Structure 1
């Protein structure tokens, strides 16, 4: 038998089921009788560690119990909104609309192109308050939505 990794590691119900299945195969081919199967089954049920389980199979060839793969902690990815306040999100979404509405207004009414200074001024004030790149929050939202649709 190959050495059992981490013999002091506690076993799961799935590990016990694997051991009972392997033990049943040994009884089926005649390596152990029904009484010995009963004794070893009771030891499997009472076993708490991989080492205790491995002792039950020391005198038997393969198959041996298959152990659970160690569980890896799943880390949730950071939210695309991390570090973006609700106000920044609203402004990031509304600013492109304000630019479009201003341009449509200028073209539709023949108003002065100087009106485009309004959304530019709002963008400059937002940058001064929240730092460079705040107006790109709408781009982050769009990228997140595309990832969700693709994934």
Structure 2
């Protein structure tokens, strides 16, 4: 039975989820099955699945074994070197060329019907938000996803804004 996950701050959970998503995306790019990755990493397929989900109870060694098997590396940065929160005007005019579904959990859930791609154009992303806004839990949105929605609304000002109000 897996160990019980320790209580983690939200930022840690977000980082683990992002790392798991990057691992899964790299596995898909390489067209490696979860079973083959598990064998190459010396663990079970269930452990690989838990890593891809960003579960905190999986050991760091297991994460590093999976990264090595995929030809990826791990690096850490000191949080003090990065500003804790960028000012809102830093995002003015910001818009990604492609929107990675793995980076935006609410969009990923809303885009369940999009098959065969891990990225959308900004206009496609805005369309999915607009059509499915009633299914979004606004209180659960990550700050980076709120920033994306704001940027999409700014870029496509003529389009109806998701939720019809502040995000």
TM-score, structure 2 normalization: 0.26
1 or 2 for the larger relative contact order (CA 8 Å, sep ≥6)?
A: 1
TM-score, scaled to structure 1: 0.28
Q: Which has the higher helix share?
A: 1
